[in-house]
């Protein structure tokens, strides 16, 4: 969902906790791929994740 979709239905998602696993060093102007996805979901909470998408 896009930000506009969330605004239209009047809800939001917030990261309560996140974890990063560093595989190698990066440098200025490097292209990075960061991913997140839904790992667990309940009525009260969701552990969220989306497959790898370029951010730069």
Residue 23 falls inside a structural domain: yes
Confidence (pLDDT) at 9: 85
- The whole-number pLDDT of residue 23 equals 84
pLDDT at 27: 92
Full pLDDT tens readout for the chain, 56 residues: 777 887 888 877 777 777 778 888 889 999 888 777 767 666 665 555 555 556 55
Tell me the three state secondary structure of residue 9: helix
| Number of structural domains in the chain | 1
- The predicted structure's pLDDT at residue 34: 77
Alpha helices in the chain (DSSP H): 3-9
Angle at the Cα of 20 (from 53 to 3), degrees rounded to 5? Answer: 45
Contact 37, 48 (CB under 8 A): yes
Cα atoms found within 13 Å of the Cα of residue 51, Cβ hemisphere only: 0
pLDDT score of 41? 61
Domain range for 20 is: 16-56
Residue 43: the pLDDT is 61
């Amino acid at each position: 969902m896009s930000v506009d979709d969330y605004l239209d239905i009047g809800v939001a998602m917030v990261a309560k906790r996140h974890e990063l696993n560093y595989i190698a060093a990066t440098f200025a102007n490097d292209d990075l791929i960061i991913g997140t996805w839904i790992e667990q979901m309940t009525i009260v909470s969701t552990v969220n994740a989306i497959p790898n998408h370029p951010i730069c």
